[in-house]
Structure 1
């Protein structure tokens, strides 16, 4: 029984291992990524550099993610998913671990550049393998569960920072050192995963029809789809940066009287970390819940529902500065629809990808959208953080992101529940 016909039957051991490895890999990518966010001040103090210079670490990682998605994705489309995924997790695990021993800031930046390559390759390959193996009728549920690995990694990073930094009083380097343990667990699981049957059948069909990957990559229809989906991912990533990644960030905290501007407010670094934990609990609930709903109601309709809910919460989210510590309530609630929309993305992007290039197509789209969003949204957020109307500017930024994501989702196509590996999806995508 294959994942494409299993319906609501139980997963096979191979399907479980493939999916678990994908979730663990994405979780640990997020864990390592957000460690830097949570230890900005510690790194700056240790290496005697400014916060702006430390922020470049995030930029460096971000810029290399599309490179990793392209390199590992093309490799996976040529030789299969299994080996590139194992090399990928080994690569980013070792690089992340070495960050704990960086002797100076320059070396740390170089390591984070390399880490960006690994992080960029992880999502596309993991999503492709997982979505190709799970039952088509439950793809939305597993999509939400897979994407929930991102806020779960953030949650683990927040908890780890509390335990390692606040409770144990250890250095920030310990956080990077500890990250290799679950990453190695993911590697062990992946060693037991079988190759994707969808990839194997696709390669045989391409050989029989003498169709090359180049023919598919440069098909005008595939290129138009690529541009549209990059724009969609730009809007989604902007939405995420505005509501999650920059919260609780320095600009927000200073705006409500925390940190240097809010001494004595009671908002300690430990409390900030607990805020991030609560936010990500809401994000996980949203990703699982709305991902599952998309199986029944469709990908685009569910995105529209998430956007409408987020818009209803936006006034409370943007003006939480007047609520004191109670700003946590609308902040957590906002994560439910925002990450609910994101929970649909692994299924949606893989369903919109031709079989022959599913290893590289979704990952490159995701990471390019991420870079474009950061190129515009992060500078804007940094600029408005210095103004006296931060809540108003934040609300406007989130509104534009939600509007763009909604408009693009409604105007586009979807392929909900499409059967991977069929002749119709080898070189093209059936739309609905």
Structure 2
């Protein structure tokens, strides 16, 4: 059972007669399917570009004649600016809908990915990556709301796991591109390819109808005779009331996401570089090990999301976090490719298994009127909190 203060603050879920998972799948409409997969695709695109930097650190150091630490500053800038995007696009989505804010968000990602592939100086590279952080910050909250809020309760745990592992699939796609095209055409092609995939995701979202959940809320506003200026005032008032009433819940969510961002970024961002510089792997072998690790991530997210539907969100998270602790020695101590690849696979089963529950966990915690803003902002502020802790301790 959740702590008392959370039971009091977390909005109650709607009660309905339980159905089997199979029956719930059979009842899904084509619209629910395409809304889910359009959100999944958006989150996958986001991951492709973010990990493009992680996978090409060694090439970027040669391109700009900088140290590894200086190059990874780009990752830091991207992460620091993500809360800005989460706030901007989250508010736009809760105010104007899931569809068009996400389309604009994806197109911005496309433009900035193209820009990254054309930069010639290190300051240009840092500037584009900082701007990309704003665009990236908006994707997760919008993609999560688009994908999950219209699904039946019985499928939200499974869908949460599959949605979150769009992140691992994006990493996997980036690693495959790095293994093939980058070896022949250089690091820039990785960002150009990512831009094309982001553009495709934006086009897909254009043809997917708006969220039924948002449309119902909009109809209720129209029935009350609320005009545009009144809507803005009401939204601002509701935001203030939400922060006043749910401030403790907001703090809890940020602390939760701080811990989770330690798990994901600590285990993924520089692991290819670690394998090359510390274990002496070639760039090819480091990329293959990364691909194997992300296969574990996809499996872990799907398993944990499904399990959470039966044993609960919190218990599922605890079990998979404990698995991480068990496999840490296998992840860092061996020197052989086979052992470290197995460690990468197992550690990512735990990391992304725990993460697979997070989209639905945050969605269920969110006040109903802020299902795009609350999860995204909590996620990104938690990430900034992680970086500040690392900086203070480092």
Alpha-carbon distance, 1:297 to partner? 1.3
Which residue of the other structure, out of 349, 354, 374, is the alignment partner of 1:341? 354
What aligned pairs does 1:16-415 form with structure 2 within 5 A after superposition? 16-166=33-183, 168=184, 170-205=185-220, 208=224, 212-218=234-240, 219=242, 220-250=244-274, 253-256=276-279, 258=280, 267-321=281-335, 325-377=338-390
TM-score (normalizing by structure 2): 0.87
Q: Do 1:199 and 1:356's aligned partners in 2 also have CA atoms closer than 8 Å?
A: no
Bigger mean CA deviation after superposition, 31-40 or 176-185? 176-185
| SS in structure 2 of the partner of residue 183 of structure 1 | helix
Q: Which runs of 5+ in 2 are unaligned?
A: 1-15
Q: Do 1:234 and 1:369's aligned partners in 2 also have CA atoms closer than 8 Å?
A: yes
Structure 1 residues 206, 311: closer, same or farther in 2, change over 3 A?
A: farther
Bigger mean CA deviation after superposition, 219-228 or 151-160? 219-228
Alpha-carbon distance, 1:378 to partner? 6.8
More helix by share: 2
Bigger mean CA deviation after superposition, 270-279 or 304-313? 304-313
Structure 1 residues 85, 376: closer, same or farther in 2, change over 3 A?
A: same
Aligned length: 365
Q: Do 1:242 and 1:377's aligned partners in 2 also have CA atoms closer than 8 Å?
A: no
Structure 1 residues 43, 327: closer, same or farther in 2, change over 3 A?
A: closer
CA RMSD in angstroms comes to 2.2
1-side partners of 2:367 and 2:24: how far apart? 22
2-side partners of 1:329 and 1:177: how far apart? 31
Alpha-carbon distance, 1:248 to partner? 3.1
Alpha-carbon distance, 1:315 to partner? 3.6
1-side partners of 2:328 and 2:62: how far apart? 36
Q: Do 2:290 and 2:344's aligned partners in 1 also have CA atoms closer than 8 Å?
A: no
| SS in structure 2 of the partner of residue 134 of structure 1 | coil
Q: Deviations over 1:214-240 (max 9, x none)?
A: 343333332211110000000011112
2-side partners of 1:108 and 1:324: how far apart? 33
TM-score (normalizing by structure 1): 0.79
| SS in structure 2 of the partner of residue 174 of structure 1 | helix
| SS in structure 1 of the partner of residue 24 of structure 2 | coil
Q: Do 1:216 and 1:222's aligned partners in 2 also have CA atoms closer than 8 Å?
A: no
Alpha-carbon distance, 1:121 to partner? 0.4
Runs of 4+ in 1 over 6 A off after TM superposition: none
Q: Which runs of 5+ in 1 are unaligned?
A: 259-266, 384-432
2-side partners of 1:103 and 1:175: how far apart? 16
